[in-house]
Amino acid sequence: MEPVARSESGLPIKPLYDGWDLAEFDADARLGAPGRYPFTRGVYPTMYTGRPWTMRQYAGFGTAKESNERYHELVNAGTGGLSVAFDLPTQMGHDSDEAVAQGEVGKVGVAIDSLDDMRTLFQGLPLDKVSTSMTINAPASTLLLMYQLVAAEQGVSGSRLTGTIQNDVLKEYIARGTYIFPPKQSLRLISDIFAYCHRELPRWNTISISGYHMAEAGATPVQEIAFTLANAKEYVRTAIAAGLDVDDFAPRLSFFFVARTTLLEEVAKFRAARRMWARIMRDEFGAKNPKSQMLRFHTQTAGVQLTAQQPEVNLVRVALQGLGAVLGGTQSLHTNSYDEAIALPTQKAARLALRTQQVIAYETDVTRTVDPFAGSYVVESMTDDIEAAAMELIQAVEDRGGAVAAIEQGFQKSEIERSAYRVALEIDHQERTVVGVNKYALDEEEPYEPLRVDPRIEAEQCERLALLRKERDGDAVERALDDLRTAARGSDNVLFPMREALRHRATGGEVAHALRDVWGAHVPVDTF
Amino acid sequence: MNSPHQKLPGPGGAIAPRARVVIAKPGLDGHDRGAKVIARALRDAGYEVIYTGLHQTPEQIVATVIAEDAPLLGLSVLSGAHLSIVERVLALLERQDAADTKLLVGGIIPDADVRALEAMGVDAVFTPGAGIAGIVETVHRLTTHLNDALEPAC
């Protein structure tokens, strides 16, 4: 008998699908119309026939000034939304002049220590016109408030601001590791953000519940959507328990997934995820507003599939990955640069990545009709298979007491690490082909000159901090940080005193440390 | 976690305990897929693997190496902070009279930095695409003579 092919999720893929596979298929119930429950075919009726997805390239490095220049270039080159990468000290709630920040300042993103840096970052960019996505989690509230304060200085009110904060701390405990506070306190901060934004920033996407980082850590497509939706359920439960009405915050929830080179399974994954979320929100949480049931998502192409060997081949991988995201109905897309397995992208590589999306959008015909794969024997079958497997895995999380309890038991992390190890062994044993690495390799690679971050940035950033600490009203900062600690100890929304502290030029590190004083820091149990 | 006394056939068919190795994640970078895969692979190859967990300072890592008396340390860095971190780790090892600790570095590391790291005294550097078998083989090569050295001369 022929060996059965397996998808990335380990589900069987048959050599042939035909009408028998969809004999029981109820298209009305399983698909519905585009823009209608259960949103399998997409969240909008016209999808890309009206306008393409938002081309949103994640960028930011070095100082706020350099990143600002890159944003102006991206806007001029036709990108539709900004996406800010922060350096690790900023992501972990440390200032650039702390010992733990040494060697990390400005490396993987821009260093933002205070309102001063944030003002420089968005200098000359019309915040009422651009939408801004910020990849920031544990200190998301701090960066969001700085953004709001800068916009206010430009005369743009909170009600006109659009964008997204990632703000998804649960996945940080499972993958990527940029957490600060323990899970319970993190969830409280997140529901404070939901409540604050409902009042102050009604058009802001308050969270981007992310499978991407779990996928990069090794999660299969089924694990990716199951663990993401299980985390999403935990956020929804937390907000409801804090007294919010589901339809007041759920329309602002958004999602973030990966796109792999395995195009058919990825398209099925996106469609399955939409159908699952719609049902969960309607049936489990009683959401009435269709917007609460819509799974809107951003996609980034799979960085982990890029190779340092023959890096130009990555352009081809990214094109296929991006195509999968579009065929799956993404709302926005980041295509990776081909040199990212070597270093931070050069300007030319970043431009080519954007051009890849533009070719998909404007030269192919995949945008001319909605959900082109609907009714495909194989894709509908795979969509059903992924949905069934993912629902089962969500149930396994719920059986452990929900996402937080499962995280504390190390469940998701160990499942993902098992998948990662399996893939590594398959590559080593030549059971999985990686072009240019374990097959079709070159004897000698061509030299490649990567982008370098200026090492002086760290010293300059520290000088700016020293100046800020001298110039500002220190007593006002201390009083504001005390108010923040008081709110953190009680149940008042912490974002209001936090905004006052930042207005008085408290640093991101000082705000995070004030909260650490009250909430403590997360210490993981890490084994392998 | 893993069994420290597991014995596998060593070179030449001799039964020798495999070395104790420390796999560490220095700095603020939380991407631990590579570190975990290597830790598992080395454990499966019979090594006693101590994994430090995330967000370790150079001081904490070197303290672990000393406390565990490990002859080999593997650092995984994907944040671009590798030069600064390795420099500090090497200086601390030197200060603690542990300069003979074998040091491997894995991560997203440009060619020029691979050469710089080797010049600083790193024994081997692995970048994306490096196979598990090759890494295990390198660890084996770097720790084998240590096992030999334990044998009394005759």
Between chains, do A216 and B30 touch, taking CB under 8 Å as contact?
no
Number of inter-chain CB pairs under 8 A, A vs B: 110
Which residues from A are below 8 Å from B31, CB to CB? 176-177, 216-217
Which residues from B are below 8 Å from A108, CB to CB? 29, 79-80
Residue pLDDT, tens place only, A477-513: 999 999 999 999 999 999 999 999 999 999 999 999 9
Between chains, do B111 and A526 touch, taking CB under 8 Å as contact?
no
Residue A62 confidence class, pLDDT cut points 50, 70, 90:
confident
Region A333-354: mean pLDDT is 90
Residue pLDDT, tens place only, B99-116: 999 999 999 998 899 999
| pLDDT of A3 | 60
| CA angle (A182 as vertex; A179, A188 as ends), nearest 5 | 100
Residue pLDDT, tens place only, A36-57: 999 999 999 999 999 999 998 8
Residue pLDDT, tens place only, B48-63: 999 999 999 999 999 9
Between chains, do A528 and B40 touch, taking CB under 8 Å as contact?
yes
How far, in Å, CA of A467 to CA of A60, rounded? 24
- Quick one: tokens of A158? 């909170």
Task: Give the chain A residue whose CA is nearest to the CA of B23.
Answer: A528
Determine if the peptide bond prior to B11 is cis (ω within 30°). Answer: no
Which residues from A are below 8 Å from B114, CB to CB? none
- Quick one: tokens of A412? 């998701």
User: Mind listing the domains of chain B with CATH numbers?
Assistant: 7-67+78-146 (3.40.50.280)
Residue A353 confidence class, pLDDT cut points 50, 70, 90:
very high
| pLDDT of A296 | 97
Q: Of all helices (H) and strands (E), which one includes residue B73?
A: strand B72-77
| A57 phi/psi in degrees, rounded to 5 | -95, 120
Name the pairing type of β-strands B124-126 and B102-107: parallel
| pLDDT of B146 | 59
How far, in Å, CA of A58 to CA of A68, rounded? 13
CB of A273 closer than 8 Å to CB of A224: no
User: Mind listing the domains of chain A with CATH numbers?
Assistant: 5-60+166-428 (3.20.20.240), 467-519 (no CATH)
- Quick one: tokens of A328? 């799956």
DSSP B76-126: EE-SS-HHHHHHHHHHHHHHTT-TTSEEEEEES--HHHHHHHHHHT-SEEE
> At residue B3, does pLDDT exceed 70?
no
Residue pLDDT, tens place only, B140-154: 999 986 555 554 444
- Quick one: tokens of A232? 């999403």
How far, in Å, CA of B18 to CA of B144, rounded? 8
Report DSSP state, residue A62: B
| pLDDT of B2 | 43
CB of A134 closer than 8 Å to CB of A140: yes
Q: Å from B102 to nearest chain A CA?
A: 22
How far, in Å, CA of B6 to CA of B16, rounded? 9
- Quick one: tokens of B28? 């603020």
Number of H helices, E strands in chain A: 21, 11
Contacts of A237 (CB under 8 A, 6+ apart): A402
| pLDDT of B14 | 42
| pLDDT of B12 | 43
Contacts of B44 (CB under 8 A, 6+ apart): none
Share of chain A above pLDDT 90, in %: 86
Residue B17 confidence class, pLDDT cut points 50, 70, 90:
low
> At residue A397, does pLDDT exceed 80?
yes
Q: What are the residues of chain B with a beta carbon less than 8 Å away from any beta carbon of chain A?
A: 1, 27-33, 36-37, 39-41, 43, 49, 51, 53-55, 57, 79-81, 83-85, 108, 110-111, 127-129, 131-133
Region A408-430: mean pLDDT is 95
Q: Å from B46 to nearest chain A CA?
A: 15
What is the pTM for the complete model shown?
A: 0.91
* Closest by Cβ to B37, choosing from A99, A308, A421: A421
* Closest by Cβ to B128, choosing from A341, A420, A524: A341
How far, in Å, CA of A101 to CA of A473, rounded? 25
Which residues from A are below 8 Å from B132, CB to CB? 424-425, 428
How far, in Å, CA of A211 to CA of A226, rounded? 9
CB of A424 closer than 8 Å to CB of B37: yes
Residue pLDDT, tens place only, A89-148: 999 999 999 999 998 999 889 999 999 999 999 999 999 988 999 999 999 999 999 999
> At residue A197, does pLDDT exceed 50?
yes
State ipTM: 0.85
Share of chain A above pLDDT 70, in %: 99
